[in-house]
Amino acid sequence: MLTSYFRSGDAIRSRRVSDIVLTGTIDVPAPPARLLADWQRETSTHMRLDPGDVEPMPLARARMRWPDYARCVEAMSDWTFALGLPEVLASSDIALMACRGARYHHDAAQYGGAAFCNLFMSEDKGLDLHFPALGLRIPLTRGTAVIFDTGQPHGVIRRGRTSFDAADFPPDQDWLQIFLTWELPVEEAHVGQALNIAFDIAPPVSPQPDEEQVRLDGERADVCPNSGRWFQVD
């Protein structure tokens, strides 16, 4: 059993890590060439985004060069509304992110109280969003939309591969993926129901951690960045 311990106000609560991934493809226009060039310049010179890294991008600057930004957000809002998540994006934090592939990881040590809602804006470059514990691969293309539990291991790997290898992302090819991401609070009723999350599942007699973490069968656990498998942390 995977259990996420997350901060809720001043307390730490427990919850089940959901194995539900909601995904679809929505119709969004391609970002303008000027903005694509800015993203390439930002990630290659200013950020030095290495294979496997996932880093935030300057959203405010991007919006100034992105005439269809509001249209993309509206399309994502319509998609989440159709899933039974009314108005959830409007009240959630949004960020612009970039990656050149992504090592396997989970995000519940920092965002245990959230589900991620991502909208990918890059074209199909032969990369998949891979959830190894679920046996699920989602081809990444412009308009790919996905909602998943932050405690579920995931990575971005080359299509056809079964693990992450930095050598799969040589510098002479364009592997950049840009995506918008929202943090959806799992305690919001519609989000919890959509992901079928059960709360306060830890036995009352079990030791209560004082920080966010994921436990596998009662032991603190982390994810191997290359294989995506869980391992227990001493």
Distance CA 171, CA 191 (A): 39
Question: According to the model, what pLDDT value does residue 48 have?
Answer: 84
**pTM (2 decimals)?**
0.96
H-helix segments, 112-198: 189-194
Strands (E), 106-171: 114-120, 127-131, 136-139, 144-149, 154-158
Q: Report the chain's mean pLDDT, rounded to a whole number.
A: 95
pLDDT at 222: 97
Q: Starting from the edge strand earliest in sequence, which strands make up the sheet with 230-232, in order? A: 11-16, 2-8, 213-216, 219-223, 230-232
pLDDT in tens, 5-55: 999 999 999 999 999 999 999 999 999 999 999 999 999 888 889 999 999
Phi-psi group of 202: left, alpha or beta (phi > 0 → left; psi -120 to 50 → alpha; rest → beta): beta
pLDDT in tens, 103-159: 999 999 999 999 999 999 999 999 999 999 999 999 999 999 999 999 999 999 999
Kindly give the residue spans of alpha helices, DSSP state H, lying in 92-140: 108-111
Write the pLDDT tens digit of every residue in 206-221. 777 889 999 999 899 9
CB 119, CB 113: distance < 8 Å: no
The CATH number of 2-194, from 1.10.3470, 3.30.930, 2.60.120, 1.10.1740, is: 2.60.120
The secondary structure element, H or E, covering residue 216 is strand 213-216
